[in-house]
Chains A and B, each alone.
Chain A
Amino acid sequence: MIEQKQQEIIEEFAFFEEWMHKYEHIIELGKEMKGLTDDEKKDDLLVAGCQSKVWLKASLQSNGTIHFEADSDAIITRGLVALVIGVFNEETPDEILKANIHFMNDIGLVSNLSQTRSNGLAAMVKQILLYATVFQAQQKSN
């Protein structure tokens, strides 16, 4: 469940008192994420509006949930991307579209998500919602 996953992240980050430890953890998440192969990093998967490159791939699975895979050429962005897709992964389009995404603010990484053009998170969340909208329409027409 999306809300539960957000709470887990918030609790995890509450543990870090120093900014360094917070970022070390994000960098670690970035390193651990499976990511995409070089062949998969196609330009049509690029999320527009990020200073570093972000690739986002989504597929609708037979059980009605969406599977996201992503990558970035910057390691901190990669870690943030891992957090974001971790929250949305294996959820249905309906759940994703009605979710209130607040964890980025709560863990003190961004004070205003919509204005953080530099790390591209706002653009990435927007892209995820776009995928969910398209998949929701597909489900309804089937």
Chain B
Amino acid sequence: MNNDTLQHKMRELRNQFPTLNQTVYGRPLVYLDNAATTQKPQRVIDSVTEYYTKWNANIHRGAHFLANASTEKFEATRSALAEMLHANFREEIIFTQGSTDSVNMLSTILENEVEEGDEIWVTEMEHHANFVPWQVLAEKKKAVFRYIPMTPSGEWDMDYAKRELGSKAKIVAFNYVSNALGTINPVQELIALAKSAGAYVVIDGAQAVAHFDINVQALNCDFFLFSAHKMYGPTGLGVLWGKKELLEKLPPYRYGGEMIRKVSVTGTTFNELPFKYEAGTPNIEAVIAFNESISFCKEVGRADMHKHELHLLKLATEELRKIEGATIYADLENKVGVLSFNVEGIHSADIGTLLDQQGVAVRTGHHCTQPLWEKLGTTGSVRASFACYNTVEDVELFIAALNKSVNMLR
């Protein structure tokens, strides 16, 4: 697809997102905070409404029409996810509350696998959600918490990893794409390294799933997790995929309804996968509506989305380079549409405030990756992140607003 056709296709998409069609402070909204959360297409919004209008019933247990209908829709999303991730078994898909919840679940159920002196590895680039739970687990089990350093260019130091990551490694957890910088990491290489060390491999795919296709079998990782809301889906819903043999072996995480097989005063037996890990009534409407996001991404095509977002990133990067004193972090080829930057002598929060006044939504600060910024010698950045519905006009408005902000602040 040539660039003009692609631009046209994406412009059409924009009409499906009602939140984008509004003004803030009397100016057209330019939403460039997509790495934090994406807006939702009308079909997702309609699905939530439809669920409460037509299908509301608790799933898996009621012997009545509505319960069966909602269960069917709920489980259809699980099947769609298994297909999306190329999972071997649909029961390998566990619904959680989000990526943070998924990591916390993993760091809890893997507890007994870790012994004193084992190494738990992350990278210096991780979101705190894929950093702190492992750090706490290491402390608790007297394991050694280690990390792969990040280079000043915003990439993993793979030489260090090759040198240091060996048979003591028990768990290796890392992000596919950096939330703060947009770097697409060489996960295949690290998975191979971690696997040959005999470690469990956990991939945080939160920033990946909206931009390119994922095949968990080809990746050969053990666990892959992400949040629905960063993939045009509802908030409060996450996905944890894990290899069946591991999820069957590992202990339950939360105890309660749904996840039990039989309870008696002398003991309790637990339900099979995936219910073993889904205690309590889940976020039913989010799961059902998420199926629409999955279809949306499939129909539009992630390859086209990514290509379009990179086009916008390129335009914005070229314009940003013209601003005196601008530093662009991870100015790399292999990225998603994330532009993370600072302007010399100006605090990122000040730029964010003035951009906001002009209708431009970006994120400022440390983006929950403090070790990363410490490495880069600063405390945070301005982050503009693009999604499929952003346009060339969005980039132009953003750059014009940025120039105005910088002039005011100098």
Bound-complex Cα distance A51 to B354 (A): 15
B347/A74 in contact, CB under 8 A: yes
Which of B349, B357, B404 lies in contact with A77, CB distance below 8 A? B349
Q: What are the residues of chain B within 8 A of A52 when measuring CB–CB?
A: 347, 349-350
What is the CB-to-nearest-CB distance from B28 to chain A, in angstroms, rounded to a whole number? 15
Cβ of B353 and Cβ of A119 under 8 Å apart? yes
B408 adjacent to chain A (CB < 8 Å): yes
Cβ of B364 within 8 Å of any chain A Cβ, yes or no, is yes
Q: Indicate if the CB atoms of B365 and A51 lie closer than 8 Å.
A: yes
For chain A, residues 73 to 94, give those with C-beta under 8 angstroms from any C-beta of chain B: 73-77
Is chain A's binding surface mostly helix, strand, loop or mixed?
A: helix
Judge if B65 is at the interface, Cβ distance under 8 Å. no
For residue B136, CB closer than 8 A to chain A, the reply is: no
Number of residues on chain B facing chain A (CB within 8 A): 14
Q: A24-B408, A27-B409 in contact; A76/B353 too (CB < 8 A)?
A: yes
Task: Scan B323-343; emit 1 where CB is below 8 A from any A CB, else 0.
Answer: 000000000000000000000
B111 to chain A, nearest CB (A): 32
Least CB separation from A75: chain B residue: B350
- Report A17-69 residues with CB < 8 Å from chain B CB: 19-20, 23-24, 27, 51-52
Decide if B364 touches A51 in the complex (CB within 8 Å).
yes
Contact B408 A119 (CB under 8 A): no
CA distance A24 to B407 in the complex (A): 10
Closest to A73 in B: B347
Q: In angstroms, how far is the closest chain B Cβ from the Cβ of A97? A: 30
With an 8 A cutoff between CB atoms, is B25 at the interface? yes
Residues of B within 8 A of A105 (CB): none
Known: A20-B408, A51-B365. A76 touches B349 (CB 8 A): yes
CB B128 to nearest CB in A, in angstroms, measures 15
Give which listed residue, B349, B357, B404, B408, contacts A118 with CB less than 8 A.
Answer: B349
A23–B407 alpha-carbon span in the complex (Å):
12
B35 vs chain A, min Cβ distance (A): 17
Residues A27 and B349 in contact, CB atoms below 8 Å apart? no
Q: Closest approach, in angstroms, between the C-beta of A30 and any C-beta of chain B? A: 9
Docked complex Cα distance between A75 and B409 (Å)? 8
- Once A51-B364, A51-B365, A75-B409 are accepted as A-B contacts, the answer to whether A23 and B349 lie under 8 Å apart by CB is no
Residues of A near B346 (CB, < 8 A) are 75
In the docked arrangement, what's the CA distance between A136 and B350, Å?
35
A100-B176 Cα distance, complex, nearest whole Å = 50
A117 to B401, CA, bound (A): 23
In the complex, how many angstroms separate the beta carbon of B352 from the nearest chain A beta carbon? 8
For B364, what are the chain A residues with a Cβ–Cβ distance below 8 Å? 51
Given contacts A19-B357, A24-B408, A27-B409, contact A74 B350 (CB under 8 A): yes
Q: Is the CB–CB distance between B408 and A23 below 8 Å?
A: yes
Distance of A78 from chain B, by nearest CB (Å) = 9
CB neighbours (8 Å) of A73 from chain B are 347
Query: Which residues of chain B are near A74, meaning CB under 8 Å?
Result: 347, 349-350
CA distance A76 to B346 in the complex (A): 10
A19's partner among B25, B352, B365 (CB-CB below 8 A) is B25
**B346 (CB) vs chain A CBs: closest residue:** A75
Whose C-beta in chain A lies nearest to the C-beta of B357?
A19
Q: Which residues of B contact A24 (CB under 8 A)?
A: 408
Q: Which of B25, B350, B357, B364 has the most CB of A within 10 A?
A: B350
How far is the CB of B193 from the nearest CB of chain A, in Å? 37
Question: What's the Cα separation between A119 and B365 when bound, in Å?
Answer: 12
Chain A residue nearest to B366 in the complex (CB):
A51
How far does the alpha carbon of A74 sit from the alpha carbon of B352 in the complex, in Å?
A: 11
A22 and B240 alpha carbons, distance in the complex (Å): 48
Q: How far is the CA of A20 from the CA of B365 in the complex (A)?
A: 23
* Complex Cα–Cα for A73 and B380 (A): 13
Q: Count chain A CB atoms within 10 A of each CB in B346, B347, B357, B365 and give the residue with the most.
A: B347
Quick one: closest B residue to A79, CB to CB? B350
Bound form: Cα–Cα A118–B350 in Å: 10
Contact of A27 among B25, B352, B357, B408 (CB under 8 A): B408
21 A–B contacts, CB within 8 A, in A order: A19-B25, A19-B357, A20-B357, A20-B404, A20-B408, A23-B354, A23-B408, A24-B408, A27-B409, A51-B349, A51-B365, A52-B349, A52-B350, A73-B347, A74-B349, A75-B346, A76-B353, A76-B409, A77-B349, A118-B349, A119-B349
Additional pairs, 16, CB under 8 Å, beyond known A20-B357, A51-B349, A52-B350? A19-B357, A23-B353, A23-B408, A51-B364, A73-B347, A74-B350, A75-B347, A75-B350, A75-B409, A76-B350, A76-B409, A77-B347, A77-B350, A118-B349, A118-B352, A119-B353
Chain B residues at the A interface, C-beta cutoff of 8 Å: 25, 346-347, 349-350, 352-354, 357, 364-365, 404, 408-409
